[in-house]
Amino acid sequence: MSKIYNAAIVGFGGQGHWHSFLLNKSDRINCIGAYDIRAERNEVAANEYNLHVYNDYEDMLNDEKVDIIIVATPNDVHHDLVVDALKAGKNVICEKPVAMNSIELEDMIKTAKECGKLLMVNQNRRWDEDFLIMKEIYQSADLGPVHRIERRVHGAHGIPGDWRQYPEYGGGMMLDWGVHLLDQMLQMIPEKLKKVYCTLSYVTNERCDDGITVISTFESGLVYVVEVGTSNFIPLPSWYMLGRDGTAIIRGWGAQDGEIVKSTGPDGEVVPVLTANGITKTMAPRRDDTIEHKPLPTVDKCYGVFYKNVADVLDGTAEQAISNESVLRVMRLMEAAFKSAKLNEAVDFE
């Protein structure tokens, strides 16, 4: 029978709850305790989740029953909490963004190596169904050579009214959602990323970016646009992929609302369309007999893969599904994007 590992969560807010909820379904990792600096959060952990609540973080680190510390606090304290846990002989799952910058992350990786303990970052959106579908389309070459991908998440609430509004706590949309979308991009495109151009928006907050647009150009010339917006009352599609022979789209969060439209052969005669002040052939839609509409491919749902991988790595039977080198590459990309936004020019990356 496989070994079952015990975890304890530091920071019992939104994501702390989510880990606890998910771990209830895991047959490899058991959540046994929690600690938060806010008393009311500890009460929820004890009363609603039936977890042991520690007096302080040190008390948690001293508990010999705990194999894994899950760090789910605001971003500015990740580094110190992770390093303390590793030095106390614990394995660590840390929330994204793993740190405030690459210097902190390099130190965390070095400490994990020195202590011989696992550091795994929760880049959970590598298993999102919409991402896996688009990755599958890209890899299948069904659209012919892909030359442009646009990936967006759009909301209309501004930045949530918590620590995310303050740069000193690691707030802002680059670190909140940008980290997920840029991570997905680097997982999908196995090429060198040559140039990065970024703009940041400050519509609802003067100090923290409430929206980002990052345009990345890869070695082959492929352009990949990542956009996070929080003042978008009409959201644009979440995925839009353009190949020589077709286009794929996913409009919302799930995989339900999307399709592929592909050319079936020569264009044939183009019938002009009438627009506001004239006719156009160039922008006329393709005739129905020259295209086909296809459903999106299906992919495995991958529930519970993350925790299972952590347990397998601790057993010594698997490699980390999320390597720390891949997380460091994303961190450096975000730094390049911030630099580009500051200079208002494209910067070299790799």
Q: Which residues bind ligand NAD (CB under 6 A)?
A: 10-16, 35-38, 41, 57, 72-75, 77, 95-96, 122, 124, 162-163, 176
Q: Is residue 112 a contact partner of residue 88, using CB atoms and an 8 Å limit?
A: no
Least Cβ distance, residue 270 to ligand NAD (angstroms): 46
Q: Could you tell me which of 86, 77, 79 has the C-alpha nearest to residue 11?
A: 77
Q: Could you tell me which of 300, 294, 197, 288 has the C-alpha nearest to residue 246?
A: 294
Of 252 and 272, which has the nearer Cβ to ligand NAD?
Answer: 252
Of 207 and 287, which has the nearer Cβ to ligand NAD?
Answer: 207
Q: Is residue 144 a contact partner of residue 246, using CB atoms and an 8 Å limit?
A: yes
Q: Which residue is nearest to ligand NAD (CB)?
A: 13
Of 44 and 137, which has the nearer Cβ to ligand NAD?
Answer: 44
Name 170's Cβ contacts closer than 8 Å, sequence gap at least 6.
74, 75, 76, 78, 97, 100, 163
Of 123 and 340, which has the nearer Cβ to ligand NAD?
Answer: 123
Q: Is residue 349 a contact partner of residue 218, using CB atoms and an 8 Å limit?
A: no
Least Cβ distance, residue 82 to ligand NAD (angstroms): 11
Burial 108-118 (b: 16+ CB within 10 A, else e): bbebbeebebb
In the structure encoding, which two tokens stand for residue 198, read together? 């970024």
| Sheet with 347-348, edge to edge strand ranges | 291-294, 258-263, 246-250, 239-243, 146-154, 223-229, 211-218, 193-201, 347-348
Of 126 and 152, which has the nearer Cβ to ligand NAD?
Answer: 126
Of 211 and 246, which has the nearer Cβ to ligand NAD?
Answer: 211
Least Cβ distance, residue 264 to ligand NAD (angstroms): 40
Q: Is residue 92 a contact partner of residue 64, using CB atoms and an 8 Å limit?
A: no
Least Cβ distance, residue 52 to ligand NAD (angstroms): 15
Q: Could you tell me which of 99, 229, 210, 212 has the C-alpha nearest to residue 165?
A: 210
Least Cβ distance, residue 150 to ligand NAD (angstroms): 22
Least Cβ distance, residue 126 to ligand NAD (angstroms): 10
How far is 111 from 117, CA to CA, in rounded Å? 9
Of 76 and 136, which has the nearer Cβ to ligand NAD?
Answer: 76
Least Cβ distance, residue 334 to ligand NAD (angstroms): 13
